[in-house]
Amino acid sequence: MRTDWLADERGAYFFLWLGIGLIALFGVLEYRLPAAAQLETARGRVVWQQETRGALYFRLSDRQQLVLYAKGDSDGRQRQTIRDADMYPVSVQFLRAQSTTTAIGLAPGAFYTVYGVAVGGKPVASLEQVRGAYRRDNLVALAMGVAAALAGLWRVRALSPGRRRAGGGRTASRRSR
């Protein structure tokens, strides 16, 4: 009995469905990016912050708990502004519909996703720059999905019963020609 199921037909379908799933994930991630009209604004000084791998959790003086993901801040300027914001007030644009709770015990309650940071009314990065950073990262999921789906499709076709028959998949004739 063969134990390497990845080389079998099951592995081919696994890669096909993995690719389809990654393509669907790209669609969901693109759908979740907000429009400018959906964003709310909070203002204040940063009174607490905790950086983790891939995110900066912080609380403003108006008691809003927010999270700024590194995925949307490719150059790191927004995170640096938040790190320095205990000295001066900042305004952040966030989406209340996208909240997360921390499982690592940083602080109780919901943290809302930040899509823009501004100091003195001047944005550190525009919403389009943030959306572009998210899009570049999401395109990796799309490329991996297309590659996995194509590899799975190629493997399914190569392992189909028609390909294993003599003469390119034609059934054998009883009469000789």
pLDDT tens readout for residues 23-65: 998 888 888 888 889 999 999 999 999 888 888 999 998 888 9
- The whole-number average pLDDT for the span 15-21 is 91
Residue 143 has what pLDDT? 92
Residue 114 has what pLDDT? 92
- The whole-number average pLDDT for the span 77-92 is 88
pLDDT tens readout for residues 134-158: 888 888 889 999 999 999 999 888 8
Residue 71 has what pLDDT? 86
Residue 105 has what pLDDT? 65
**What is the DSSP secondary-structure string of the chain?**
----GGGSHHHHHHHHHHHHHHHHHHHHHHHTSPPGGG-EEEEE-EEEEEEETTEEEEEETT--EEEEEGGG-TTSHHHHHHHTTTSS-EEEEEEEEEEEE-SSSS-SSEEEEEEEEEETTEESS-HHHHHHHHHHHHHHHHHHHHHHHHHHHHHHHHHSHHHHSTTTTPPPPSS--
Domain over 35-133 is classified CATH 2.60.40.10: no
pLDDT band at residue 175 using 50, 70 and 90 as cut-offs: low
Ranges of each domain in the chain: 5-30+138-161, 35-133
